[in-house]
Structure 1
Amino acid sequence: MAFDSDGFIEPPLESEILPRLWMGGTHEDETLTRVRRLHSVGDRKFFDAVVTLDSNSAPMGWLVKEFRFGFPDAALDLDHAAELERIADWAYAEWKAGGTVLIRCQAGLNRSGLVTALILLRDRMKLEEVLRVIRSVRGDYALSNSHFVEYLEKWKSER
């Protein structure tokens, strides 16, 4: 992890939260406006399935199942929440079937944290444990969006 001038600890681009379940961001050279190289069919495939939550991220490439849904790092509206439930169901199923799954957004902290948390909650983890595990791997700024944490608290209380 690297520190910036404000003391923010920048997490690695991608981190393994639990075996085969990864959370991360998008490298600045892997955005639609700055992509340096297109993926080819012969590229090494590290992830079996990827959830991309930043609309500016370049596609993952050949032979990788990808679910794309860009939404803002802000309060959730009902349409976004419903779609995120479908995304989390899909990613959870891929992970439980033995696939290596990456949940990514731009910075790899909030949007990816929200979906990763929903996956772990589906795996019957307690919310406090989910937050602790994600933050221990991605840093204290992971899931710092209070709207997302409130959504997770409400989600957990309804189940």
Structure 2
Amino acid sequence: MDYKAPTYAASREANEELWSEVLPGLWQGGTHWKDVLWNTDRDHQNITRDDFDLVVTMYADANPVDWFVEEIRLGVMDAHIDDVDLPRILSVAKRVHKAWKQGDKVLIRCQAGWNRSGLITALVLIKDGMDAAAAIDLIRERRSPSALCNRSFAEWLVEQGETAVLELTPTS
């Protein structure tokens, strides 16, 4: 598969579900356009304990989730992989994988639900034993054909993602 092929399509984003289940209990998604810190019109539904046990929010402008939902907030730009704090990203992926394998229903979200959330979701899948190419394919199938259209993220996952995940996994 050509990992450089997907491109951003705003019309596609408008027609997608807000969240998509990639594997049972592991969800990837975006943030409702009204669910931002500066919007005082709170007519949207907040993410509650009925929705998810753990939410990773990678869009700094997103409102926090509701009470009693564990949330990891790591605002990251959808930019070049060199602009991302990779040790922190890998740490979050490790924490998400552990929670998911223990039975938590997990959502990894960013703004559109494609790139930043896709990076973490792919790392979780790699940690679970999937190779990077298969992880990207699955995310694009289950979330969006535009997922991981950030070429820098996709190329890094294919070229270095598996090694990075192995380095954070103890052998004993």
Normalised TM-score (structure 1): 0.87
Deviation at 1:76, TM superposition (A): 2.3
Deviation at 1:44, TM superposition (A): 5.3
- Tell me the equivalent position of 2:21: 16
Taking only aligned residues, the RMSD between alpha carbons, in angstroms, comes to: 2.1
- Taking a change above 3 Å as real, the CA distance of residues 38 and 78 of structure 1, as seen in their structure-2 partners, is same
Q: Deviations over 1:96-130 (max 9, x none)?
A: 11000000000000000000000000000122211
**Which of 41, 53, 69 in structure 2 is aligned with 1:36?**
41
Percent identical across equivalent pairs?
A: 41
Asked whether the 8 Å contact 1:45–1:63 carries over to 2, the reply is no
Q: How many matched pairs?
A: 151
AA aligned opposite 2:12: I
- Tell me the equivalent position of 1:90: 95
- Tell me the equivalent position of 1:51: 56
**Which of 62, 70, 74 in structure 2 is aligned with 1:65?**
70
AA aligned opposite 1:9: R
Deviation at 1:70, TM superposition (A): 0.4
Q: What SS does structure 2 have at the residue aligned with 1:108?
A: coil
Matches of 1:44 and 1:127, distance apart in 2: 31
Deviation at 1:77, TM superposition (A): 3.0
Q: Which has the higher contact order (CA 8 A, sep 6+)?
A: 2
Gaps of 5+ in 2: 1-8, 167-172
**Is 1:80 equivalent to 2:85 in the alignment?**
yes
- Tell me the equivalent position of 2:125: 120
AA aligned opposite 1:45: D
Farther-moved stretch of structure 1 (62-71 vs 135-144): 135-144
Matches of 1:157 and 1:110, distance apart in 2: 20
- Tell me the equivalent position of 2:113: 108
Gaps of 5+ in 1: 1-5
Matches of 2:163 and 2:89, distance apart in 1: 17
Deviation at 1:149, TM superposition (A): 1.1
- Taking a change above 3 Å as real, the CA distance of residues 78 and 34 of structure 1, as seen in their structure-2 partners, is closer
Matches of 2:24 and 2:122, distance apart in 1: 15
